[in-house]
Amino acid sequence: MLRRLRAIVLLAGLSGWPAAATAETGYDLWLRYPAVGDRALLASYRKAVTAIVPPAPSATADVAVEELKRGLLDLLAVPVPVVPDVEADGRLVLGTPRSSRVVAGLGWSAELDRLGDEGYRIRSTRVGERRATVIASKGDVGVLYGAFHLLRLVQTGQPIEALDVAERPRLSLRLLNHWDNLDGSIERGYAGESLWRWSELPGRVDPRITDYARANASIGINGSVLNNVNASAEILTAPYLEKVAAIARVLRPYGIRVFLSANFAAPRIIGGLATADPLDPAVARWWKAKADETYRVIPDFGGWLVKANSEGQPGPQDYKRTHADGANVLADALAPHGGIVMYRAFVYDASVDPDRVKRAWLEFVPLDGRFRDNVMVQVKNGPLDFQPREPFHPMFGAMPKTPLVAELQVTQEYLGHSNHLVYLGPMWKEFLDADTFAKGPGSTVARVVDGTVDRWPRTGIAGVANTGRDGNWCGHDFAQANWYAFGRLAWNPALAAERVAEEWIRMTWTSAPEVVASIRSMMMGSRESFVRYTMPLGLHHLIGGDHYAVMPENPDPRRADWSAIYYHRADRSAIGFDRTAAGSNAVGQYRSPLREQWGDAKTCPRELLLWFHRLPWELRMTSGRTLWEELVGEYRRGADEARELEARWKTLEGQVDQERYRAVLAKLRRQTEDAASWRDKCIGYFHGVNGRPVPEP
């Protein structure tokens, strides 16, 4: 209804009528499809696309046609009819060589085969004597992705008269991991309750799930893990599999397969067995029967994600077995159906090594080559836990025989929840572009993960989702940008974070150049500002139990590596964690030349200095200031930049819609206050520890 009202208002504006204001809730995300305001551009679009020539009907092809009809109606402010053939100029032809006579006649089959089922070709060409634009793929889902690509070009004001586009995803699995619980709550969720509404399924599927599918398909996400990695075994029971099947039916036309997090102890918890020992034949039979049952209900089920022997979760080590033993029993059950196991490497048993950041490498790297072919090990971007800045995880490039899934966190657990504007594109690019030196220079994390370095047959990337039932999906209108950026970078890790930000701004807010430039600048600097006021110079984990409140004094009694003092180790003489060869030697898990560069305080990057080094407060920095003075300056600068975000947003009043303007302003006011609290608390605490005078501003 909201979209129809907006279309009426936009048509009125184009006709010279006074346009009334319409409410913006943020629900439409980057699929708002506002009418093109530039009249010359609008005329060119209307000339280029006069009608749609559809392929043979299928669930996915029908979705592509409907999305184009919906989007082009709003963008061009005129209906775009569906016609059977190319009988005039300006036809938009969709299809595969099997589903479209026109596409089959173009002779593109070999090229489309190379692009694969998800890749697509968009080309301005001639069909007989007529000018046409063709969106073609080997598979229907590729056609759908191509349709969204064309809409994105129009949304962002790009010319479409002479297109020659060939796209294919760099990674085969592009997943959202939902940490949703069966009671409707979401672990690390900051945007309301779960989208899934388990109590209503399977009888009623919330229509919002269709819009969730649309949003994901528009950015190429092709998989969704529906439940929390701290999994309830109940999700694998027959009643819940029927509920999952109902969700899968909605997602399937959009090219999205469902996956589930499995509790490793499920054979014991819901299966009635006395053990979950992965080498017990009865346990193997139970998992095989459960996989068979699951595929009977959900034929295209993707597989299981497993968190084992981590933070109290059961796992193979409970039975003195290895992670490979645990993963392989599940993989054997799924293999006949083509399913995969994504086995998380987020483990940190203190008995393995005192330094938490070393433990995953120590537990998994010796197992390289011992996992089944359908096992992928899922590794967080950094070795600790989604901190605002970490070095890349040393497992990337260290397991050439085991496909690794990179796990990023879209929800801002350690980055201000949904209260702070922090665009994560630059952080993810920093990670993806980092050189592992696995096979010499140029072995970036992106090239490891996409299989270029080690030629893995299966590749993937996962993002811990930030969606919920809030009206704007993500709790903060700018948090939507991180969902969007994750999908775009999952499709192509080579994209620039700034380009992705500009796309999102134009699709979500406005195409007015001065407003785009202002918002883009705010977004691109936001992550670095957050780092300055929360973890300057490589300090990390200075938080309380909710991972939000600033608590550098936190001594968490449950375990040392959940505290803050474990990481900053500040006393009167020095601060920082010594991870050099003289300390924990975590730096030794990286290849040369990184271990030498990072292991020397003189050559270690400034932003990782206190991650790898414990240094005296009076150390003279390259700026000429002492380490203490540098820290104080960073905290102050970060807080000032947060305040500046609020001030810059205020200059946009009247240039974006009032509803979202006010919602964002309220968030930025809180961010200003929080950043000041971080500054004051940290400077005050460390001053109390080191006894040194606080430098004057």
Length of the chain, please? 697
- Alpha-carbon gap, residue 610 to 369, rounded angstroms: 35
Q: Which of 311, 600, 618, 653 is catalytic?
A: 311
What letter does residue 185 receive in the DSSP assignment?
-
Looking up tokens 């990390």 gives 540
- Alpha-carbon gap, residue 412 to 414, rounded angstroms: 6
Reading the block at residue 481, the tokens are: 């940008």
Catalytic residue status for 311: yes
Max Cα distance, the chain (Å): 83
- Residue 628, judged by CB atoms within 10 A of its CB (0-12, 13-18, 19+), counts as buried
Contact (CB, 8 A) for 345 and 308: no
Contact (CB, 8 A) for 506 and 577: no
CA distances from 167 to 48, 251, 572, 644 (A): 21, 22, 57, 39
Single out the residue of 331, 458, 360, 340 nearest to residue 403, CA to CA.
458
Measured from the Cβ of residue 2, the count of other Cβ atoms closer than 10 Å reads 13
Looking up tokens 């009167």 gives 572
Reading the block at residue 233, the tokens are: 């075994």
- Alpha-carbon gap, residue 146 to 140, rounded angstroms: 10
Single out the residue of 191, 195, 194, 199 nearest to residue 212, CA to CA.
195
Reading the block at residue 99, the tokens are: 């589903």
- Alpha-carbon gap, residue 103 to 113, rounded angstroms: 13
Concatenated DSSP letters for 277-295?
-TT-HHHHHHHHHHHHHHH
- Alpha-carbon gap, residue 622 to 627, rounded angstroms: 10
Helix (H) or strand (E) holding 407: strand 404-409
The reply to whether omega before 267 is within 30° of 0 (cis) is no
- Alpha-carbon gap, residue 378 to 406, rounded angstroms: 6
Concatenated DSSP letters for 223-234?
EEE-S-SS--GG
- Interhelix angle 140-155/208-218, rounded to 10 degrees, is 80
> Which residues fall within 8 angstroms of residue 85, CB to CB, at 6 or more apart?
53, 102
Q: Which of 24, 28, 167, 385 is catalytic?
A: 385
Q: Which of 413, 450, 454, 502 is catalytic?
A: 413
Catalytic residue status for 553: no
By DSSP bridging, strand 91-95 and strand 130-136 are parallel
Beta bridge partners of residue 460, listed in sequence order: 173, 405
* Amino acid at the residue 31: L
Reading the block at residue 42, the tokens are: 């609008």
Catalytic residue status for 413: yes
Looking up tokens 């409707």 gives 184
By DSSP bridging, strand 404-409 and strand 340-344 are unpaired
Catalytic positions, written as ranges: 311, 385, 413
